Amino acid sequence: MDMHFGFKPLLQRNRFLFFILIVCASVYIPGLMAIGGVSSVKAVGRDERAANKKISLDEAIRIAVEKNPQLQSTRDQVEAAVGLLRQSKLYPNPVLELLAEEIPDNEIGLNQSQNLVAVTQPIITGGKRGLGIKVSEKAKEKNEFERDAVLLNVVADTKKSFCQVIGDQEGLAIARETEEIANGIYESEKLRFEAGEVAVTNVLRAEVELSKARNLVSRAEGNLQNSIKELQTVMGIPEEIVHGVTGMLLSRPVELSLPELELKMNNNQPLLKASKKNIEIADTQLMLEKRQVIPDINVSAGYKRLSMENRDTVQLGVEIPAPFFNRNQGNVQKGKALAKKAKSENLSVYHDLLLQLRRNVNSYTVERKRAIEYGDKILPKAEESLKLITRGYREGEFDYIDLLDAQRTWAETRISYVESLKNLNMIIADIERLAVTKIRGQ
């Protein structure tokens, strides 16, 4: 009773304070709950975007150009070549000489000695310094061409891996559609068996086909995951999460002219340019080796103090090596051999690239005709056949075997068409790499 009557006057005296607390709670607590709710929604949104992350071909190429470690290695090599070029332009440092002679053994110091201060400067003759700079310049240009060649390879590999992912995505869609059809047939046959219209063998066959379709889906899912991992590796992001790609395979590319492609390859292929630059490097290096027989000169000038005689003198000197024995004969012979080797390698590179181009163009022509044949004739007929037999099966005109054959034909035709398009697009990527050109659709 005392507590009750003691608390009531306290509540009456401070009811305004309690009212304020209740109002604040009613305002802030829902706000805090709302903030928490918004945060959770945003987190879910980010997770959903990460879970559905799909990239386009342009984005994949951009990431590969930025992240691919092989391409980055060639960039570093170019940077090293730039450093070598910079070093080749630097002139040899002078040599400072400090010499004290005839120092008496009874006195420590330079008062009674002959003291020399001289500077010796090597003088490079015969244009050797200019030739060395030319070698470094051409080496830098060769490294730049090799970097461009690696860039073309990375882009082509990215395109081919991207096409593989698109093809496997389409293959997975076909497998799931096949599973859906097989499941529908199985349910239909089971109902017909329960109604006494078909034998139990139809149900068993349908169940077997459904199991095969499910296995096909599992295999297609595995193929897709492997191709995505391959694409990520080519792009240089093997640890990131990519759940697929967006885009379509080129289905009707233009006809190609082999002479035009060969001309573009000769004019634009960086591997050929790098190989030709190797010839220039070898020829310039050979010229430099021949000039090495011309000796460099060391010019010196100095001041000499003769302490005992109290005289100041000036000394001048020139040193010229006499090339009696070593006239750089071995390096000249080596330079001649390397110059011939560079020319042979250039011819080998050209023949190899030309063979690859002609082989890919021939494959392109065959695969293009095959893809057009599938897209224009074979696939539409298979789809129409499946529709007619499915309708006839429902109306009792065809039996289960006819429906099963039509389903298999339709699935195999679609898979073959996707494989043809995938191969065609991979061949296109190789031709674009070799001829340094862009192949478009009709």
The pLDDT score that the predictor gives to residue 31 is 40
Domain count, the chain: 1
* pLDDT at 41 exceeding the cut of 70: no
What does the pLDDT look like over 129-182, one tens digit per residue? Answer: 999 999 999 999 999 999 999 999 999 999 999 999 999 999 999 999 999 988
CATH of the domain at 430: 1.20.1600.10
What does the pLDDT look like over 356-393, one tens digit per residue? Answer: 999 999 999 999 999 999 999 999 999 999 899 988 88
* pLDDT at 45 exceeding the cut of 50: no
Q: Is 85 part of a structural domain of the chain?
A: yes
Task: Say how far apart CA 70 and CA 153 lie, in whole Å.
Answer: 10
Q: Is 44 part of a structural domain of the chain?
A: no
Q: Is 12 part of a structural domain of the chain?
A: no
Kindly list the strands in the beta sheet with 297-306, ordered across the sheet, starting from the edge strand earlier in the chain. Answer: 95-101, 114-123, 297-306, 311-319
Q: Is 298 part of a structural domain of the chain?
A: no
What does the pLDDT look like over 91-103, one tens digit per residue? Answer: 999 999 888 777 7
What band does 110 get if pLDDT is binned at 50, 70 and 90?
A: low
Range of weakest confidence among 24-33, 44-53, 121-130, 199-208? 24-33
Q: Is 323 part of a structural domain of the chain?
A: no
Task: Say how far apart CA 343 and CA 275 lie, in whole Å.
Answer: 8
Q: Is 305 part of a structural domain of the chain?
A: no
Q: Is 405 part of a structural domain of the chain?
A: yes
Task: Say how far apart CA 413 and CA 379 lie, in whole Å.
Answer: 6
Tell me the average pLDDT of the chain: 86
The C-alpha torsion from 409 through 411 and 413 to 416, rounded to 10°, is -140
The pLDDT score that the predictor gives to residue 124 is 93
The pLDDT score that the predictor gives to residue 370 is 95
**Cβ(431)–Cβ(439) below 8 Å:** yes
What band does 52 get if pLDDT is binned at 50, 70 and 90?
A: low
* pLDDT at 13 exceeding the cut of 70: no
Backbone torsions φ then ψ of 115, nearest 5 degrees: -110, 135
Q: What range does the domain containing 347 cover?
A: 58-90+124-293+328-435
Q: Is 382 part of a structural domain of the chain?
A: yes
